[in-house]
């Protein structure tokens, strides 16, 4: 087999037959390093051609208006599609394009949360080798086991896109008993995952509301235990498992029941990318923008207009 034929065969197995690096390594008796090199060579030599079928339209005027209001935050305002389904698809694909660039830019650790928005983002990512990048959870599971968008599934799903290592956090998002939570932090598997999570370069998150929390029965039944003394009328939304108000203040910082890295450690992550698809999260968006809880946000024109209208009330 000539070198060009080898590049073609490996490319076909990876891109078309969906073989993993491990399977290709065994089949051709070559190292993972060489597989990565050969796949890149195949693109350079024109054996593999990658085409972008559509170009998503962005509303740069709205992006500029929002950037002027919220300094230091990068906005990606995606033009509304012909219907809600089309708009949601465009949002997911656009968010995927944004984070793919970040993954390629000297990135070593990526953290991911869960939820339908993040599931759709991950589903829209293209597959390419990123063996030097680790994907990790940075907080416990949301316990939404009747959904494909659970936390452990998410980190496995995204890692499989890039033939990468992944780390899970096999514990619930909230641990009410403080002693139990502190004890879990000492467990080797949990400690290792969280130590890696503290070094995240990029994290991917959706945006929650009280209704999001109430959609999970175990959390709905125990809200007073999860957030003792909290006035729920002040909650604008939830991010990283924590409630925040319209000004972006975390409301339970003195009695945080989340099992994961601290909110301060989360906010030390250089790139915190938020995808918002629901039209009902205007107040929650205002909160995360005012509190600078994220660094990059992908949202629709409709949501952008609503945020600006809320600011002008």
CA atoms within 13 A on the CB side of 63: 15
Helix (H, G, I), strand (E, B) or coil at 124: helix
Q: Which residues are paired to 110 by β-bridges?
A: 135, 202
- Unique residue bearing structure tokens 């002027």: 68
The set of residues, in sequence order, having a beta carbon less than 8 Å from that of 42 and lying 6+ positions away, is 7, 8, 10, 11, 48
Q: How far apart are CA 298 and CA 74, in angstroms?
A: 9
pTM of the complete model: 0.81
Query: Distance of CA 172 to CAs 104, 108, 160, 180, Å?
Result: 31, 26, 23, 12
CATH code: domain 60-311 is 3.40.50.1360
Residue by residue, pLDDT tens for the chain (313 residues) are 788 888 889 888 888 887 888 889 899 998 887 888 888 888 888 888 766 554 558 899 999 999 999 999 999 999 998 898 999 999 999 999 999 999 988 899 999 998 889 999 999 998 888 878 999 999 998 876 555 555 667 899 899 889 899 999 989 999 999 999 999 999 999 999 999 999 999 999 999 999 888 888 889 999 999 999 999 999 999 999 999 999 999 999 899 999 999 999 999 999 999 999 988 899 999 999 999 999 999 999 999 999 999 987 5
Both tokens of 205, joined, read 């998150």
Specify the pLDDT at position 203.
97
Both tokens of 297, joined, read 């946000």
- Unique residue bearing structure tokens 């002693």: 179
- Under 8 Å between Cβ of 233 and 304: no
CA dihedral 98, 103, 104, 105 (to 10 degrees): 90
Specify the pLDDT at position 152.
63
Specify the pLDDT at position 197.
97
Helix (H, G, I), strand (E, B) or coil at 222: coil
Q: How far apart are CA 230 and CA 300, in angstroms?
A: 31
For the chain, give every domain's residue range: 3-44, 60-311
Buried b (16+ CB within 10 A) or exposed e, 142-159: bbbeeeebbbbbbbebbb
């Amino acid at each position: 087999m000539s070198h060009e034929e080898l590049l073609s065969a490996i490319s076909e197995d990876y891109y078309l037959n969906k073989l993993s690096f491990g399977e290709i390594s065994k089949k051709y008796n070559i190292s993972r390093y060489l597989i990565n090199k050969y796949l890149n060579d195949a693109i350079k030599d024109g054996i593999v051609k990658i085409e972008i079928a559509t170009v998503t339209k962005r509303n740069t005027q709205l992006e500029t208006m929002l950037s002027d209001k919220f300094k230091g935050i990068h906005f990606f305002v995606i033009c509304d599609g012909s219907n809600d389904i089309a708009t949601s698809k465009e949002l997911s694909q656009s968010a995927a394009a944004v984070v793919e660039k970040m993954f390629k830019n000297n990135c070593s650790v990526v953290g991911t949360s869960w939820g339908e928005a993040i599931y759709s983002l991950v589903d829209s990512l293209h597959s390419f080798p990123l063996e030097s990048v680790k994907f990790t959870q940075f907080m416990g599971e949301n316990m939404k086991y009747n959904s494909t968008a659970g936390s452990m599934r998410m980190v496995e799903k995204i890692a499989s896109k890039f033939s990468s290592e992944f780390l899970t956090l096999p514990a619930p998002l909230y641990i009410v008993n403080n002693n139990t939570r502190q004890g879990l932090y000492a467990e080797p598997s949990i400690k290792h995952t969280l130590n890696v999570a503290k070094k995240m370069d990029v994290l991917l998150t959706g945006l929650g509301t009280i209704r999001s929390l109430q959609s999970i029965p175990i959390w709905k039944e125990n809200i007073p235990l999860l957030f003792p003394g909290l006035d729920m009328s002040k909650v604008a939304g939830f991010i990283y498992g924590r409630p925040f108000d319209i000004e972006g203040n975390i409301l339970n910082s003195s009695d945080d029941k989340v099992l994961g890295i601290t909110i301060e450690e989360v906010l030390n992550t250089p790139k915190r990318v938020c995808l918002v698809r629901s039209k009902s999260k205007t107040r929650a968006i205002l909160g995360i923008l005012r509190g600078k809880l994220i660094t990059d946000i992908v949202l629709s024109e409709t949501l952008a207009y609503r945020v600006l209208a809320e600011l002008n009330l």
